[in-house]
Structure 1
């Protein structure tokens, strides 16, 4: 699943959708006009909007026990119980510690409490995301792509095809927002099941290449023998005790 956008002079549309090798998920499309509060469309999408789309449009329309692939966009990554930061109030730090029965003295200074928080925060791989909980509670498995690895999400290829279709229909760049809605729906419909199968296979190929590269790097690393001996080391190995004392003295004076 994923989010994309398309901009014309009359406005910007935000598109939220999901797909698999069966094609775009039926009845899961969400298209709406972006506001003007931010130039970055990610800033105009939030957890409330995304979670509503997830629960009302995507999850009811996918097969049981599906794996839901998502990236690390901010609205995907809202924590169930955010770990306090340095800017968190002392009161909230104490509340966080108390909820976990972590021993602390409320009379401590804020920075001292923060040190206790840091010593007791969960590991990175144990973070609990609200979106993951929703997905699991509906009988599915969330799977997050590594940061900045959008090539591992096949919907990015679908978005590229959708945008290409829209551009081909808008050579003059003068779509009205109403026309953009219509053409966007046409563009989504133009992406076939066969297209999606190719997108998914392409991602599998990339993933396999990453695994193979990782294996080769691991094998090569095991073979590398790092020598701490250098040319300068070999010169220093000369045994001056067996040389002429005067030569030894001259050599030493050269270094002064």
Structure 2
């Protein structure tokens, strides 16, 4: 445990089931939709909902809630003839395609690629399935027969360890581990914050090879902007001041809506992320994953291996022992393991994603009409028919 930071106090916000859903579940549900595409089968909301609710590892949803969730995951509903079709939004498809093109280009340039991500594990983390002796029907019977009543279960999830790390096909980066104890029971993403992450990131950067690429997702704490770009919430005078500071011409008589249109036309040049600029100053490139595409990050497979290791060896369900188990599991991850995970993503997952976009285009092209604002009413009439 090399680094830890005090996390700032944040306000509690009441969240709905859609926004409070665990990231792992969101990724799993996204994959359910994509499995239909790989089978060249049209994924209607009813069909996907049936598969999700039939999966014991995922929560159950009502149709209306599931509809909101799919929109939250950036799916849209299109109509092709008589069949409704769930599709990734165009910006997600484009982001995914550009990511795949860029990472292939970086590999062709022989640039070292690092993969960064955070995860968490509870003190009560253990295996979900074990062998059970069904002949032992009571504690009294077990005592008389000199047997046990089986493994003890954790009393609850217990304290949570939050960790962030970075690695490549040659292994984890030396002194790259950041861990701290969670103070909340809800979504752990709320306890990671931009300032703390940036402090850790600045210490990690010098430990990376020259001219590398750093792959990460779009979590809020990775995505603090270098400067605030005016929005509809900005005052008109502040928008004018921002335009003047960028030497962008406008007429004093313009309405606020006209000024915002000018901002929109130019903001791409000024929307820069703090950590991207930190990396660029040291000749390093940040490459961001498309939203909800964690399967493109090999470190996710590493985290799964570490969590499985902890689950297999967790006996006490104490937080102090959890930290030891985590460190032991971390040490068990070899360079070969990293290379296997990177190769799996490169040779299988990325290839599958590339093929997926071609499948989506073939599925969507003939006679598509985008439903836009009428999604809800059309969905309800389709479900009830």
Mapped pair 1:27 → 2:175: yes
Structure 2 counterpart of 1:169: 313
Taking the aligned partners of 2:200 and 2:121, their CA distance within structure 1 comes to 19
- RMSD, matched Cα: 2.6
Deviation at residue 109 of structure 1 after TM alignment: 4.8
Structure 1 counterpart of 2:302: 158
Deviations 1:109-149 (A, max 9, x none): 544433332343327xx842111111111121211111111
Deviations 1:150-202 (A, max 9, x none): 11110111111111112222256x21x22222221111111111111110001
Structure 1 counterpart of 2:275: 131
Unaligned runs of 5+ in 1: 228-256
- TM-score, normalized by length of structure 1? 0.75
Structure 1 counterpart of 2:218: 72
Question: Helix, strand or coil for the counterpart of 1:121?
Answer: helix
- TM-score, normalized by length of structure 2? 0.51
Specify which of 38, 41, 47 is matched with residue 194 of structure 2: 47
Unaligned runs of 5+ in 2: 1-115, 124-156, 368-385
Specify which of 66, 88, 102 is matched with residue 234 of structure 2: 88
Q: Point out the structure with max Rg over C-alpha.
A: 1
Go from structure 1 to structure 2 and tell me whether the alpha carbon gap of 1:137 and 1:119 turns closer, same or farther (over 3 Å shift).
closer
Taking the aligned partners of 2:218 and 2:231, their CA distance within structure 1 comes to 20
**Cα contact 2:229–2:271 (8 A) shared by 1:** no
Question: Helix, strand or coil for the counterpart of 2:268?
Answer: coil
Deviation at residue 212 of structure 1 after TM alignment: 4.1
Structure 2 counterparts to residues 1-256 of structure 1, below 5 A: 1-8=116-123, 9-36=157-184, 39-56=186-203, 58-105=204-251, 108-122=254-268, 127-171=271-315, 174-175=317-318, 177-205=319-347, 206-214=349-357
Taking the aligned partners of 1:215 and 1:128, their CA distance within structure 2 comes to 31
Deviation at residue 102 of structure 1 after TM alignment: 1.8
